[in-house]
Amino acid sequence: MLTLHQDDVLLACHASDWRDALDQAAASLAEAGRATPAYRQGLHDREAQSSTYLGNAIAIPHGTPASRDQVLETGVRVLQFPDGVEWHDGNRVHVLVTIAAQSDEHLDILRALTHVLDREGVAQRLANAGTRAEVIAELSKAPVVAKVDIDTLCLNFPAKDRFELALAGAARLRQAGCVNAEFVAAIVEQEPVALGQGLWLASSAQGVATPALSLATPEAAFAGPKGQVNGVFCLAAQGEAHLGLLERIAELLDSGDGETLADADAATVLARLAGESASAETARVRVLNAHGLHARPAKQLVQVARNQGMPVKVRLLEGSAETVSAASLTKVIGLGARRGQTLVFSAEGEGAAAAVQALVEAVRGGLGEKVSPLDERSEAEEYRPAPRELEPLAADTAHPAVPAAPGLAIGSVFVMRTPRFEYPERARDLDGSRGGDAPVQKTRLSHALQAAAEQLEALIRRAQGGEVAEILSMHEEMLDDPELRESAHEGIDEGLSAEAAWWRGVDTAARAQEMLADRLLAERAADLRDVGRRVLGILCGVELPTPPESPYILVMDDIGPSDVARLDTAKVRGLLTARGGATSHSAILARALGIPAVVGAGERIMTLDNGTELILDGERGRVIPAPSRERRERAELRLKEHEARQKAAYAARFDEGRTRDGHRVEVAANLGNTAHAADAVEYGAEGVGLLRTEFVFMAHADAPNLDTQIAEYREAIDALDGRPLVARTLDVGGDKPLPYWPLPQEDNPFLGLRGIRLALTRPEILETQLRALLTAAGDKPLRIMLPMVKDVAEFRAAKIIVDRLQQEIQAPDVQLGVMIEVPSCALLAPSLAEEVDFFSIGTNDLTQYTLAIDRGHPELSAQSDGLHPAVLRLIQMTVDAAHAKGKWVGVCGELASDAQAVPVLVGLGVDELSVSLRQVPMVKARLREIDLVEARHQAELALGQATAEAVREALEAL
C-alpha cells in the first residue's frame, strides 16, 4: 500500500488553472524519479474520462492504465495550493494527492482519504497548513471507528434482571478487547437508564480502549420493577467517537423498532442498529468489479441511487454495521467495498422494492466496467509452479515418518484421492443435456441435491447408529440448508453453471465458517466441503472414491478429525497421511480409536497404487511398501508378539504403575466424556489425569446449569470409586469454540482469548463450574487444574473464587493446580510452585508454543515433536521446581503414551502419566520394562541432543 511521506509534500504552489496544476504535478513526479515526463498525458487523459475530485478540497489525479508504462517507481506527490485551483467540474482544490502507480495501489489511498472528507474544516486547514507535517497529519488522521458487531452482542442471556444484562454486555465488551476491568466495575455500580420500548442503557467512559456498543437481551423478555426489559445496551464511550452509536439508538427508537430486538437474531439486531427499519425493503448483491467500488463505479452507483426519487441506504455486510446514503459519493467510496464483498441496499415507502432492485441490477451489471462472475476457486489460488514428477516409494524399503498412534498394521492400501471436477463457469458453455438457461440449471441442481440426500440416507442406514451416523445426519441437514440453495440460485441467475454456482456457495460458506474460529469450526467447514463435493460429483458425473469391502490401510494427503470419526474401525487396519503431526487432533483421535497411524510421510505416498501391500509401524514411525516375503514374515511375527504383549498388558492392567525396580508412577486416563470414567477403570486407570470439561459444555445447546454440571461430574467421580479425578476447568477458545459463547474473530486464536484468560472474562460461568465440581466431589479426591495459565496472577484470580466457595461447600480433599502449556509458566515454575498444589504438563500445547509450530499446520506439524530437547528442558525445570516444594507433576499430553518418551519422562521425575484409556495397559507394561537408573540415563541422553530427530535416533540406538 502507498503511504504519504513529508519529503513528497510541496507547499505554497500556485497554478493558473487545473491544467497547469496537473502539469506541475507531473513535473514533480518526473523530478522525483517516479515517472517519465510522458506520464503528464496520462494524468490529463484520466481527468478527461472522469474528474478525480474527491471532496473537501482534495483531488487525487492518477494516470490511465495505458500510461502505467511511464511509471518508473510507484509513489505519491502532494501539492498544496493555498489560493486554491478551480477544477474543471466547478469545485475548488487546495491539495493534489498525485499518484504514479504501476498497478492499483492508488485505490488504498483513495479509500483512506474518504475518511477525512466529511471532517468539518478540513479544506481550510489544508489551505492554511504551514508545514509538511501539518498536511500529512490532516490527510492521514484516521477516524476512531466505534465497534458494534456480532462480537459485541450478547443475545438470549439467562438473566433475571436488567443489572445482570448490563454486566453481561460489559463482559462481552471486555472479551472483545474494547474495555478493561475498570469499565466493568463502573457498569456494576450504576443503574441502567430507561430508553423506552423495553430498552435500557448503561454506559461509562472509564477503562475504554475502543468505543463500542453491546446489546444484551434476555432469554425471554420480562417485566421488571421499573418497566419492561427487552434488552440493555452497554456503551463504551470515548471522546466523540461513540456519538454515532447514540444516534443509531435514537433512530431505532424513533422508528419504533425497539421492541423487535427482544427475540431478534444477531443479523437482525445489526441490521436495525445499522439503520435498516423493520419495514424497509432490502436486497443484497455482491460486488463484481475487479477493484471494488473505487471512484468510477461508485459514481455510477450514486447516479443510479439519485435517479430513484427516494432515499436509498447501503451498508457493507462485511464492514461496520452502519448504513450510509447511496446517493453520497464520499460515503459510498468510504465503504471500501472490494470484489466479492456484499452490499445491502434498503429503502422505505412506495416503490422501495423497485428502487433497491435497480441498484442491485446496476451492481450486477458492473457499474460501467466490464466484470466477470466470481470464481472463489481461481481467485483464491496463488501462483504455484508446475507440479514436479513425484518419485514412487521404493519397494521393500523402510521410509521414515512421524509415529502418531502405536501399533503395527499389514494390509493392502486404499489411496483416497480427491477427484478433480472439471466444468465451465458459465451455463452457456455447458454442452449436451447439461446445457440450458437458469431454470434448467436450477432443476439440475435440485436433482443432484435429491440424489445426494438418497446417498446419505443409504449410508446412514448402513452405519446403524453411532457417531458415524450422527455425522452423516449432519451432512444431510447441510443439504437442506436454504442459504446454500439460495446462494447457488443467485449464482445461476448471474449466468453461472449449476456446478460453479453450487461450489461458489459451498466454498463461501466454508470460508466464512473457517474465519469464525479455529479448529472445531474449521472441521465443520471440511464437512461443508465434503457435502459440496458429493453434490458436485453428481452434477459432473464423477464418482467419489469408495473404500473396498475388505480390510485396508487408508492412505490420504491429510485427514481431519471428522474424517477419523467416520472411519470404519472394523475395516481400517491403519492410517497413513502425507501431512500432519503426532499432536494433531486427528492423531489423537486415531490413538483413542486404537488405529495404528503414521503421519507426515510426504507426498510421495500418494503415488502408491490401490492394493499395494504395506507394513505400517505406528510405534517406530515407518512404512514399507511391497515388502519381501521375508520382511513380511518378520512383520507378521512382530504383529503376533505385539498382540501377545497387548493381551498380557491387558491381563495385568489392574497392577499399580511401577518400573521394574519398583519406582511408583501413576498411570491415569484422559477423558472427554464423563460417561467413560467406568471404562477407564476397566482399562486399569488409577484415576483420571485429565477430564476435558469443555465437552460437558459442548454437549449442550445452551450453557449447562449448576444441576446439570453436578450430575455430569458426579457420574465420573462415583465411577472412579475413590480414585482421584483431575478436572481441567473450561478450556474453550482457540480450537474449541462454543455456539452460545461467540468469540471475537482473531488473527491467531491460539494466542488470543482461550483457557483461563477467557474464563475470567465470564467469572459467573467459571464460578458455576467450580461450585458444581466441589459439590459433586463431596469427600472424594478432586484435583482442579487451570488451563493456559501464563503467570501467578491468573492462578490467584481463580484461587480467590475457589477459596470463597470452599467456605460454603464441604469438600475436604481438593487440590488446585495449573497446566504447564505456556512456556512462561514453565519458566516461572519456581514461583508458581510456592502456591499451587500440583502441575500437569500439557505437552501438546507446550510443544506447539515452544517450537512456534501449529500442530495442525499442513507442512510443519510433522516437526512438532514433544521429545525436542527444548520441550524436555522445560519439563525438567517444572519437575525440579515442583519437587523442591513437595508438589507432584503429571503429564497429560500425547507424549505420555509415546513408547520412546515414557522412559525419558520417568527419568525426568514425572510422577503421573495420563493417557487415552486404551493406552493405559500398554503404558503400564512399558514401565515394567525399565528401571529408574536406566530411565534417568535416557533422560540425560535426550537432554544432551540438539534436535528431536537426534533424540529419537539416540534412544533408538540403545
Q: Which residues are catalytic?
A: 62, 294, 585, 892
Determine what percent of the chain falls in helix, strand and coil, rounding each to the nearest 5.
Answer: 45, 20, 35
Sequence-separated contacts (24+) of 15-24 with Cβ below 8 Å: 15/81, 15/85, 17/85, 17/86, 18/47, 18/85, 18/86, 18/87, 18/88, 18/93, 19/44, 20/85, 21/79, 21/81, 21/85, 21/93, 21/96, 22/47, 22/61, 22/96, 24/79
DSSP label at residue 628:
-
Q: What is the DSSP letter of 317?
A: T
- Listed residue (624, 731, 621) closest to 953, CA to CA: 621
| Distance between CA atoms of residues 151 and 134, nearest Å | 36
Crossing angle of the two packed helices 901-908 and 869-884, in degrees rounded to 10: 30
915 forms beta bridges with 669
Containing 314, the helix (H) or strand (E) segment is: strand 313-316
Of 225, 223, 227, 199, the closest CA to residue 213 belongs to 199
Distances in Å between the alpha carbon of 465 and those of 462, 475, 530, 534, 566? Answer: 9, 15, 20, 21, 12
**Nearest alpha-carbon partner for 623 in 839, 394, 295, 470:** 394
Kind plus residue range of the DSSP H or E element containing 624 = strand 622-625
Could you report how far apart the first and last alpha carbons of the chain are, in Å?
57
Q: How many CB atoms lie within 10 A of CB 932?
A: 17
Question: Looking at this protein, which amino acid is placed at residue 35?
Answer: A
The answer to whether the beta carbons of residues 429 and 497 sit under 8 Å apart is yes
Whole-angstrom distance, CA of residue 814 vs CA of residue 946: 40
For residue 112 the three cell numbers come to 483512506
C-beta neighbour count of 251 within 10 angstroms: 16
Residues in the chain: 958
Block residue for cell numbers 478540513 = 122
> 209: closest CA among 188, 182, 245, 189?
182
Cβ atoms of 85 and 93 within 8 Å: the answer is yes
The rounded distance, in Å, linking the Cα atoms of 330 and 55 is 7
What totals of helices (H) and strands (E) does the chain contain, helices first?
35, 32
Nearest of 715, 751, 706 to residue 849 by alpha carbon: 751
Do 555 and 414 form a contact (C-beta atoms < 8 A)?
Answer: yes
Beta strands 75-86; 153-157: pairing state: unpaired
Neighbours of 751 (CB within 10 A): 11
* Distance between CA atoms of residues 754 and 258, nearest Å: 34
Give the whole-angstrom CA distance, residue 158 versus residue 165.
9
C-alpha cell at 173: 465488551
Cell 512383520 locates to 635
Q: How many CB atoms lie within 10 A of CB 700?
A: 15
Look at phi and psi of residue 721 and say left if phi exceeds 0, alpha if psi is from -120 to 50, else beta: left
Rounded CA-CA distance 904/449 in Å is 54
